[in-house]
C-alpha cells in the first residue's frame, strides 16, 4: 500500500522540486497537490473579490500542476470567486479562506452551479472556512459528494465544536491529520473508526516526515495502512 500525503501545497511559487525530496526522505510515495493560497487570491485585502491578474495566476498554477501528473500524484482544483469549473484532470477541490480574508460570493448563482457540478462528478472537497460557513457548505452539498475537514477542524472552529455540531456523524465527511493533535486523531478513531482519516502534511507549513510520524505512532497494522494512503485511494476511486 503506497504512503500518500493528502494535503500538500505546490505551485509556481512553491515548486515540486522543494517537496519531492522531503516526500522521498519520509518514504512518502506521492499524494494530493493544490496551489498555494497566494497564487489564487489576495488574502491580505479583505475587500478583494477577483482580478484579471489573479485569474491568469490561477490558470498558470493549475497548468503547472497538470504538468506534474504521474502515478500517485493527484490534483485538487483551488476554487475562487470566478467559480471556474475544474478541468477533468483534477480529482478534488480545495475551498479555503480564513476569517480575516476576502469572502467567497456565496450568494452568487455561479457558486450554486459550482457546487452542483462538483457533486455531479463526486469530487471530494477540502473545506477550510469559518465555522458557520463550513456548516452552511456541508448543508448545501447535502451528502452529494465527500467533504474533507483539514487539520481535524483546527481552522474550521475547532474539532470539539464541529463534533458537537454532529458533522462527523455523516459518513461522507472525512478529516485529514495535517498539523492535528494526536488527541483529536485518537478520539475520532475511537468514535468513528479509521476509514475516514487521511494522512496529510500541509507542506510547507508542516514537515512531511514529522506529520507522518504522528500517524505511525498512533496507528498500526491495517489501520496504519488505511490512514497513510489506503483511505485516500478509496476516496478517489483508485483503490
What domains appear along the chain, each with residue ranges and CATH number?
Answer: 4-235 (3.20.20.140)
What does DSSP assign to residue 200?
-
- Residue 238's pLDDT is 87
The mean pLDDT value for 26-50 works out to 96
pLDDT of residue 161: 97
Cell of residue 157, nine digits: 472552529
Flag whether pLDDT at 77 surpasses 80.
Answer: yes
Beta strands in 1-91 (DSSP E): 4-9, 30-34, 73-78
Asked if pLDDT for residue 88 goes beyond 80, the answer is yes
What is the overall mean pLDDT for the chain?
97
Burial string for 94-116 (b: 16+ CB within 10 Å, else e) reads bbbbeeebbebeeeeeebeebbe
Residue 112: predicted pLDDT: 97
pLDDT of residue 186: 97
For residues 180-202, give the mean pLDDT. Answer: 97
Cα-to-chain-centroid distance, residue 233: 14
Return d(Cα 235, Cα 146) in angstroms, integer.
8
72, 16 Cβ separation under 8 angstroms: no
* Predicted pLDDT at 60: 98
On the question of pLDDT at 132 being above 70, the answer is: yes
- Cell (9 digits) for 52: 484579471
Binning pLDDT at 50, 70 and 90, where does residue 49 land?
confident
- Is the model's pLDDT at 239 over the cut of 80? no
pLDDT digit string, tens, across residues 145-184:
999 999 999 999 999 999 999 999 999 999 999 999 999 9
pLDDT tens readout for residues 209-233: 999 999 999 999 999 999 999 999 9
DSSP 108: S
Amino acid at each position: 500500500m503506497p504512503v500518500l500525503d493528502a494535503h500538500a501545497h505546490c505551485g509556481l511559487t512553491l515548486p515540486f522540486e522543494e517537496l519531492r525530496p522531503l516526500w522521498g526522505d519520509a518514504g512518502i510515495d506521492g499524494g494530493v497537490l493544490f496551489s498555494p493560497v497566494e497564487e489564487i487570491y489576495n488574502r491580505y485585502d479583505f475587500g478583494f473579490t477577483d482580478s484579471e491578474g489573479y485569474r491568469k495566476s490561477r490558470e498558470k498554477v493549475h497548468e503547472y500542476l497538470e504538468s506534474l501528473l504521474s502515478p500517485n500524484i493527484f490534483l485538487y482544483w483551488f476554487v475562487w470567486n470566478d467559480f471556474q469549473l475544474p478541468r477533468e484532470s483534477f480529482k478534488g477541490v480545495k475551498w479555503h479562506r480564513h476569517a480575516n480574508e476576502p469572502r467567497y460570493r456565496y450568494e452568487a448563482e455561479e457558486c450554486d452551479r459550482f457546487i452542483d457540478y462538483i457533486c455531479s462528478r463526486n469530487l471530494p472537497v477540502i473545506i477550510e472556512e469559518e465555522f458557520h460557513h463550513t456548516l452552511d457548505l456541508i448543508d448545501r452539498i447535502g451528502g452529494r459528494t465527500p467533504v474533507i475537514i483539514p487539520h481535524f477542524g483546527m481552522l474550521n472552529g475547532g474539532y470539539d465544536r464541529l463534533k458537537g455540531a454532529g458533522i462527523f456523524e455523516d459518513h461522507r465527511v472525512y478529516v485529514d491529520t495535517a498539523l492535528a493533535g494526536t488527541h483529536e486523531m485518537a478520539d475520532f478513531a475511537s468514535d468513528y473508526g479509521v476509514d475516514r482519516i487521511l494522512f496529510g502534511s500541509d507542506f510547507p507549513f508542516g514537515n512531511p516526515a514529522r506529520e507522518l510520524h504522528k500517524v505511525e505512532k498512533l496507528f498500526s497494522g491495517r489501520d496504519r495502512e488505511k490512514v497513510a494512503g489506503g483511505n485516500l485511494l478509496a476516496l478517489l476511486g483508485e483503490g
